[in-house]
Amino acid sequence: MRIMCFGIILLLSISGCATVSQKIEPQESQIPRSEQQTAQKEISIPVQKTYKRKIAIIRFTNETTYGRSLLLDKDLDRIGKQTSDMLASRLIKSRRFLVFERTDLNKLLDEQKNSSVASELVGVDAVIAGSVTEFGRSVTGEVGFLSSTKLQTAKAKVDIRLIDLRTGHAFFSAIGAGQATTESAEAFGFGSRAGYDATLNDKVIASAITNVIDELISNLEKRPWRTDILEIDGEQIFISGGKLQGLKIGDSLIVMKPGKAIKSKQSGFNVSLPPSKVASIKVVSFFGDNETNEGSVCKLIEGNIDSAMIHDLFVAE
């Protein structure tokens, strides 16, 4: 008994000498979690210089039978216009492109017969044409003795094509599909009673655009960035494009001479031979105040530029 008591006293004395660990309470950072995640992504992704491409949305139509009664005339396509507006908004919010809109392809083609308009659009890297190829709504539900449910569903598909304005060749096509639903339920006379939900039209088109926007942006950014030389005045070289296209003071660019264009018997298209480097230039300042009149002032680093041949040259990254 004495031995047992001595053992208990010994254990208690040892435990009394042990260090008591303090529980550390997690402290929430004052920086919002969303900002922390954004900062981590920016650190993990290497910085890549990308100049903004110029793109034009020239046509978006509703090729389905839905909404035909809403068309006031042949030029007012509400679903097509809504889809075009949503697509333009997403591209602008990405901050990767300069977006211009052309509302009707046939009008554009007619205008292109005028040389002045054709030269105005030559700076566009790609044009977007598309259509709503599927659009429909359905209502389903169940009715019980004391309860009922109603499910409204809208489905849509959009077909988007990227076209090279210089050749008329559609070099990329993608289809985006979307679905939106709203449900209401009622039991014992209580609950929600939903009538026709017009907002489903907006939601399903937005869903279809979201389904295809990443692939579209990826292919647009694969297009080579280029611009033209406006004028040479002494040691100053004026080119189109400035801050809004992502150019920065100190950026180095190359002046290229296009290769000879030869018509291919196999494809029927004109195939341009590889361009050759003429000179290197560096951005020193900017002028203009918007995307339609901005430009950059550059200086020659190496090579030689014939001022009489500037309209045959182009500037690339």
Could you report the per-residue pLDDT of 22-60, keeping only the tens digit for each?
A: 444 445 555 666 666 666 655 444 445 578 888 888 878
What does the block give as tokens for 54?
Answer: 């110029």
Of 92, 103, 109, give the one whose Cα is nearest residue 128. Answer: 103
Could you tell me the residue ranges of all domains in the chain? 53-135+158-177+197-220, 226-316
**Would you state the CATH architecture of domain 53-135+158-177+197-220?**
3-Layer(aba) Sandwich (3.40)
Q: Is the pLDDT of residue 122 over 70?
A: no
Cα angle 317-53-290, degrees, rounded to a multiple of 5: 105
What does the block give as tokens for 285?
Answer: 């300042």
CA–CA dist 46, 167 (Å, integer):
35
**Range in 13-22, 260-269, 284-293 with the lowest mean pLDDT:** 13-22
Could you report the per-residue pLDDT of 190-217, keeping only the tens digit for each?
A: 555 556 677 888 888 989 999 999 889 8
More confident position, 146 or 178: 178
Domain covering 226-316 in this structure, CATH number: 2.40.10.410
Question: What integer is the mean pLDDT of 209-230?
Answer: 89
What does the block give as tokens for 208?
Answer: 């279809």
Average pLDDT score, the chain: 77
Given this model, what pLDDT does residue 295 score?
A: 94
Of 91, 129, 89, 85, give the one whose Cα is nearest residue 108. Answer: 129
What is the distance, to the nearest Å, from the Cα of residue 81 to the centroid of all Cα atoms in its chain? Answer: 18
